[in-house]
Structures are given as C-alpha cells and as structure tokens.
Amino acid sequence: MTDNLYDLFRSRFPADRSRPFIEVPDGVTISFAELEAASARYAHALVAAGVKPGDRVAVQVDKSAEAVVLVLACLRSGAILLPLNTAYQAGELEYFLSDAAPAAVVCQPHRLAELEAVVATTGIGARVLTLGTAGDGSLPDTATGKADSFASAARGGDDIAAILYSSGTTGRPKGAMLSHTNLAANAGTLHKLWGFRPDDVLLHCLPIFHTHGLFVAINCVLMNGTGMIFCPKFDAEQAIGLFARATVFMGVPTFYTRFLASPNLTPEACGHIRLFISGSAPLLEETFNAFKDRTGHTILERYGMTEGGMFTSNPLDGDRRAGTVGFPLPDVSLRITGEDGRVLPQGEIGIIEVKGPNIFKGYWNMPEKTKAEFTDDGFFQSGDVGVVDERGYVSIVGRAKDLIISGGYNVYPKEIEDVIDRMDGVVESAVVGMPHPDFGEAGLAVVVTAPGGGGLTADGVLAGLKGRLANYKVPKQAVLVSELPRNAMGKVQKNVLRDRYAAEWKAKL
C-alpha cells in the first residue's frame, strides 16, 4: 500500500460491500461494491485516454454519483483532480486550463463543443471527455467492459491529489495544491472529531467542486465507510423532508436561513439528525439562535479554506459558541500575528496563521506567491483577521483581503472590477459587499462612467457581466456615479461606499 488516498478510503469500506454508499433521491443508488468496480473501470478509461500519474484531469460536471466515481478514479489512477465550478464561463475556464495544462478535461455532453473550443484556444492539447448519466458520455462508454479492478497508482504522501483554484485580491487565481497526505490528515481528523458512527448517514446537498462539499463532506463519509443521501441541488424543502433518514447535515449559512424560512422546520422534522454543521461563510448569531429556538439543535460552526481544508471547529461535546469557529483542530497549530509578523498574545486581534499536516503544498506554478504566503517557520498566512479568547475559542473578526463571501462562495471584487473597467463608457469601478438576506453578503457595483457615458446603464453593466463571469459573482445591483471617494493615499474608500448606498441597496432588495 502506498499513500494513495484511495487505498486509505478502501481500507475503511464496510466488509459488506453491498451496503449503499450513495443514494440519489429519485435516482441511482450505488453500493460500495459498485463504487469500487465503477471507479476501477473509470480509472482504466482515464488511462486509455492517455492520463498518467501526475497529470491533471479537469472536471466540470454536474453533481451526480458518476461524478464521485470519477473523483475516485482520478485518485486511483494517480491523476491530479482539478474540480471546476459548473458556473464558470469560457473566459474563466480558459485561464484555469492554460495554467494547469490538464491532460484531460471532463465535462457534461451538452458543453462539449464549448469546452473543445476553450481547449483549442489554450493550445494545451487536452482530450475532452464527457460524463453522461444515461449512456451518453464518452468516459462511461470507454469504461464499459473494462476490468472491475485497478491497482492504485503508487503515490507518496506529498504527491498532489488535487488542485483547487482560489482567486485573490490581486493578480491571477492561484491553484492550491493539496497532497494525498493533506486530504487524508484532514479527513481523519474531522471524522474523529465529529464522532462519526457506524450508523451515520450524511445528507449531502452541497456542490462538489469546492472544499466543503468535496473534501469535508464526502471524505468524512468515505472515512466512515457509510452512506450518504446525495441531492444534486440544494432545495430546502426536499432537505427538510430527508432529515428523517439522515443523521449528519453540512451546509453553508444560506442553507440554514432558507430552512428557517420554512414552516416545515420543526423539532420533529430534525429529530433524527444528530449533528448540524455550518461553514464556508460566517454564521450569524441570529441564525444560530433562531435555529436553536426552532429545532433544539445547536449548529456546530467550523472554519477553514481551500488551502488546507478545515482549521478549527466548535466542539462535538461541549459548548458550541455563536460567533466563534471553535478551537484549532487537534493537529493544527494556530496563532495570531500582528502586522510586523510578531505573534500576538491571547485576546489581541491579528492575522490568523495555521500550520499542520492538512495545509497545502503551495500554489501550482507560483513558487514566489507560495513563498510570500508562508512564514519562515512554515505557517500559512490565512488573510483572515481573528482573535482567540481566554477559553481558546477562535473568532473571525474581519478580513485582511478584499473579499465578499456570498452564499458560501468567495467572490473577489478585483476580478469583477477588472471586467467592468474594460466595458465601453466606464472609467473605473468599485465592487463592495453588502448585507444580503439570503446570501449573507452580495456585491454592489459602483461604476464611474465617462462623460456622456455612451448610453451605459446600471442594468447594462450587470447584463455585460453575465456570460463573462460565473453567475454568483455578478453583483446584484449597480449604481452609476461620477467619481469614487478616495483617501489621502488615493485608495478607494469602500467603507464609505457601503455606508453611502446602504439605504438604496436595502430598498431595492
């Protein structure tokens, strides 16, 4: 056995392989036996497509049982998985594919022509494969008839298992490289910390192209060797109906606010769930309290990011405190530092830095950026501003980076401003995060138009962004102005904009 993560998961599969692993409501059910066999066949199909260990396989597919099989097939074949949000548009994909230069790109059949065109533009020469759900995908076609067993490619612990792109406040998105050991360490820690039991069933409603749905949720289930109910999309009513058959639920705060909006969220409906977990965005104290009042359940909030999975968690047994993200995980060292890099005493506010076996190996093709984000003694500088209280609970109190977290997705204003600034009639722009009842935060674009403006309207700005950026990045509102407020250093005062447009924003929601 090597350090291939698949082998670890396989060692945790139940002795009775006929037990269900994935059940899609009104869809397929896949047992562990089928998972093993199908991921072997898909791994053979990847090899047949020319994929070698260490090659990247970009995957932009809808959430399905087959998609999970493909994820495991990538691990088994030693390929590096590059999951891509299905909302990404051609321009965004072009960058990821040029940067990561995958050997193969897997997409839904209906996007084949589009992805082929993107691949042609990049000149990377990748094979474009399709993943159908009803016999209409080239990958399942190639897999048909292949052997049901596959010897996992030998992988060392530091070999990269996945690259996940995260954007930034400046420059290009960065591909965070996560090793087999990074993922194994975090999965093992969370599985233990959250007390997974032999009878647990996870209700999975998250997308599977980001850390939360992919590595936190699925990997805990794989470590537990039990099953999950796998909903292709989040639907609050459907999820509430399924609580009766599940024991663990993981979601972003928007899921919880949508549950609270339903009269069907009752203590009885939640009676079978032993653990509700929230993450990816700050859980408002108001939501935490309302959920407790309505259901009797105390949501467990945890904190992490793409660059290492989870860093902290409120306790399973013990006080789960609203407004905090709990304690550093047992194998994570966490410290707070000041602007000069000095480690601050408990109670002082500063940048959160973390170190542990789960922290990523660096950014793909960006040694300088990697170096800049780690301290000399190996701590990753998260860019989040936090504080540790006298009991050791960590709270996130702000962000050192200009970032909007909308419905659990990170949205970087700079990326949107760059697209707006290239529009005809635009001089410059600023995108700010505003409070949003459903998504927690959402973007407002404040756009300075050229004299005359060329007929540009606020709606025109928003329409111009659609199709160029993933839909969740498109600001919900825009205003046209003649100038932006700046401080003495010439920096746009985003806090002034947030205050100035607060009433107008709220009125238009």
Contact positions vs ligand MLC (CB under 6 A) = 206-207, 210-213, 233-234, 252, 254, 279-280, 304-306, 406-409, 439, 442, 471-472
DSSP state of 429: E
Whose Cβ is closer to ligand MLC: residue 176's or residue 351's? 176
Kindly state the smallest distance separating residue 235's Cβ from ligand MLC, in Å. Answer: 8
Q: Map tokens 């994935």 to a residue.
A: 22
Q: State the DSSP string of 339-404.
A: TTSPBPPTT--EEEEEESTTS---BTT-HHHHHHHB-TTS-EEEEEEEEE-TTS-EEEEEESS--E
Whose Cβ is closer to ligand MLC: residue 138's or residue 211's? 211
Kindly state the smallest distance separating residue 148's Cβ from ligand MLC, in Å. Answer: 32
The enclosing H or E element of 497 equals: helix 494-500
User: Residue 26's Cα: distance from chain center in Å?
Assistant: 26
Kindly state the smallest distance separating residue 159's Cβ from ligand MLC, in Å. Answer: 23
Nearest CA among 329, 305, 333, 332 for reference residue 316 = 329
In this structure, what token pair is assigned to residue 235?
């639907």
Kindly state the smallest distance separating residue 293's Cβ from ligand MLC, in Å. Answer: 23
| 172: CB partners within 8 A, 6+ apart | 95, 99
Whose Cβ is closer to ligand MLC: residue 126's or residue 206's? 206
The burial class, CB within 10 Å (0-12 / 13-18 / 19+), for 236 is buried
Whose Cβ is closer to ligand MLC: residue 13's or residue 472's? 472
Whose Cβ is closer to ligand MLC: residue 241's or residue 341's? 241
Kindly state the smallest distance separating residue 143's Cβ from ligand MLC, in Å. Answer: 28
Kindly state the smallest distance separating residue 239's Cβ from ligand MLC, in Å. Answer: 10
Whose Cβ is closer to ligand MLC: residue 199's or residue 233's? 233
Give the CA-trace dihedral at 457, 461, 467, 473, to 10 degrees. -140
Integer Cα distance of 302 and 359 in angstroms: 16
Kindly state the smallest distance separating residue 282's Cβ from ligand MLC, in Å. Answer: 11
Whose Cβ is closer to ligand MLC: residue 62's or residue 116's? 62
Whose Cβ is closer to ligand MLC: residue 98's or residue 457's? 457
Q: Are 186 and 309 in contact (CB under 8 A)?
A: yes
Kindly state the smallest distance separating residue 204's Cβ from ligand MLC, in Å. Answer: 11
Integer Cα distance of 68 and 47 in angstroms: 18
In this structure, what token pair is assigned to residue 179?
């090793």
Kindly state the smallest distance separating residue 234's Cβ from ligand MLC, in Å. Answer: 4
Whose Cβ is closer to ligand MLC: residue 29's or residue 457's? 457
- C-beta nearest to ligand MLC: residue: 407
The enclosing H or E element of 259 equals: helix 253-260
Kindly state the smallest distance separating residue 283's Cβ from ligand MLC, in Å. Answer: 11
| 384: CB partners within 8 A, 6+ apart | 303, 305, 351, 352, 396, 398, 399, 400
Kindly state the smallest distance separating residue 210's Cβ from ligand MLC, in Å. Answer: 4
Strands (DSSP E) found in 297-338:
300-305, 309-313, 327-328, 333-337
The burial class, CB within 10 Å (0-12 / 13-18 / 19+), for 353 is buried
Whose Cβ is closer to ligand MLC: residue 273's or residue 462's? 462
Give the angle 397-401-405 at the CA atoms, nearest 5°.
70
Whose Cβ is closer to ligand MLC: residue 124's or residue 218's? 218
Q: Give first-to-last CA distance, the chain, whole Å.
A: 55
